[in-house]
Amino acid sequence: MIDNTELKRRFGISYLRPWQELVITRILELESEGNGKILCILPTGSGKSLCFMYPIAMLGKHSILIYPLLSLMNDQAKRFEEAGIPYIVLKGGMTSDERKAKLRKIKDGTATAIITNPEMLLAMEKCNELRAIKHPSLLVVDEVHTAVTWGEEFRPSYLETGRLIKVLEPSSTLAFTATADERITQGIIEHIFSGERPYTVRDSSDRDNIFYHSLISLSKIADIKAILAPPSSRPAVVFCHSRKETEELASVLGACYYHAGLSTEERKEKEAWFSSSTSGVMTATSAYGMGVDKKNIRTVIHTYLPESVPDFLQEAGRGGRDGGRMDSWVLWYGTENSPLKPIFMGGKCIRHALLSQMGEESADECLGCSVCVPDNYKRAGEDEIIRWVKWHPGHTIESAARNITTKAIFSKSRSMNTWKKEDAEKAIRTLINEKHLVLFLSRLFCPLRPICDRIKAKGVS
């Protein structure tokens, strides 16, 4: 049923992975039977796109692919181009005449794949244009978890997808995602498959080439610089909580930033730059998460945590898609909170905790997290601050921070001369909470001064 010669000619591969072969075979079987429904939950980097591209190429009938982001639509168009599969893209901003011109290619058979999004399908329904693409061979919803996570929050058009599928009457409906816990899976069944349980193919969300690190940071900026200093740590993506943070951090790192506030041209320019870069660093909001189609990302850093484990795994899973080692770092300040904090700060295996939240079990032995295999990374600033306080006991937190960040103090090493005073204060308080430094009451230096909290290194009398 699967033509290896065609696989090699179109996609440049000699054989399929076991999951790909299973999914493709099932798609072809169900398409011939009609009314097939398949949900594929496979980890990032497992070659999901080939699972529907090969059947589209072999069946030769028109198919519809629904994506949540323009960047993903562009990536898929590029893949079709490389595989020699004729396609059209239907997206926002097109005039009625432009849409009709593209739809004629479907009618006359010069194109077999339609790349679009839910908003465009709804607009076409209002214009009575859906009849031109009814009865597709396959209807594919990629990154289908967004139908639940986004549809219920800010993309209500996604909640219409199940109804649109009924209107279009495809021979088979296929839904793909890398991460779906039980709540998201039930939402997909409700919103995409109209409550009917699909044939489900699920592989573990575990990626054994990803090493998970969790770090209570003294200075996130300093730690990011240290983590990304070795050339082997790049290319890298640093996920930030806000657009402002991506821009500020990019300025400090000399990196490129990416967020939803950029124009289409700016996004394309930055995507193209990062795609071709062998050592680039991209600071980004979650807007860049699913838009990444770069195989050799070596490091993903989170300066904050998403609200859910599936979201975190999606973003961390952007790295190491070539199968090589990838390091996922979560940087915390001790006072920060998140629903995921127990996973990363609970002192137990991070990998096991993540998989447990996905309803999965992990192998008995973990060789890929900083709890089970200590990474021996020394936090930026830790040795310098403790050493300074050891040799200069009796300062207040404020005066110690002021002195530590003064260039003259570290004129030889200059290891902390870029730190801000408030960052040094925060770091000192963290070290006090961790018992590396000790507070004591004293009227040191001058008998007339009030008694106040002063600091010294642990073990110094």
* Residue 290 predicted with pLDDT over 80: no
Q: Which of 198-202, 238-242, 451-455 shows the lowest mean pLDDT across its residues?
A: 451-455
* Residue 243 predicted with pLDDT over 60: yes
What's the confidence (pLDDT) of residue 114?
98
* Residue 149 predicted with pLDDT over 60: yes
The larger pLDDT score, comparing residue 203 to residue 46, is at: 203
Q: Which of 18-32, 162-176, 216-230, 406-420 shows the lowest mean pLDDT across its residues?
A: 406-420
Q: Which of 73-87, 130-144, 148-162, 433-447 shows the lowest mean pLDDT across its residues?
A: 433-447
- Per-chain mean pLDDT for the chain: 88
* Residue 334 predicted with pLDDT over 50: yes
448 falls in which pLDDT band (50, 70, 90)? very low
Task: Give the per-residue SS3 of the chain.
Answer: CCCHHHHHHHHCCCCCCHHHHHHHHHHHHHHHHCCEEEEEECCCCCCHHHHHHHHHHHHCCCEEEECCCHHHHHHHHHHHHHHCCCEEECCCCCCHHHHHHHHHHHHCCCCCEEEECHHHHHHHHHCCCHHHHCCCCEEEECCCCHHHHCCCCCCHHHHHHHHHHHHHCCCEEEEEECCCCHHHHHHHHHHCCCCCCCEEEECCCCCCCEEEEEEECCCHHHHHHHHCCCHHHCCEEEECCCHHHHHHHHHHHCCEEECCCCCHHHHHHHHHHHHHCCCCEEEECHHHCCCCCCCCCCEEEECCCCCCHHHHHHHHCCCCCCCCCEEEEEEECCCCCCCCHHHHHCCCCHHHHHHHHCCCCCCCCCCCECCCCCCCCCCCCHHHHHHHHHHCCCECHHHHHHHHCCCCCCCCCCCCCCCCHHHHHHHHHHHHHCCCEEEEEECCCCCCCCCEEEEEECCCC
* Residue 395 predicted with pLDDT over 90: no
* Residue 10 predicted with pLDDT over 80: yes
* Residue 73 predicted with pLDDT over 80: yes
* Residue 1 predicted with pLDDT over 90: no
What's the confidence (pLDDT) of residue 408?
42
pTM: 0.81
Percent of residues, the chain, with pLDDT higher than 90: 54
* Mean pLDDT calculated for residue range 199-210: 89
* Mean pLDDT calculated for residue range 19-42: 87
What's the confidence (pLDDT) of residue 359?
86
What's the confidence (pLDDT) of residue 451?
53
Q: Which of 154-158, 275-279, 428-432 shows the lowest mean pLDDT across its residues?
A: 154-158
What's the confidence (pLDDT) of residue 363?
67
Residue pLDDT, tens place only, 208-225: 899 999 999 999 999 999
What's the confidence (pLDDT) of residue 242?
94
What's the confidence (pLDDT) of residue 280?
95
In order of their start, the domains of the chain are: 4-202 (3.40.50.300), 210-357 (3.40.50.300), 382-457 (1.10.10.10)
* Mean pLDDT calculated for residue range 134-149: 93
407 falls in which pLDDT band (50, 70, 90)? low
116 falls in which pLDDT band (50, 70, 90)? very high
* Residue 321 predicted with pLDDT over 50: yes
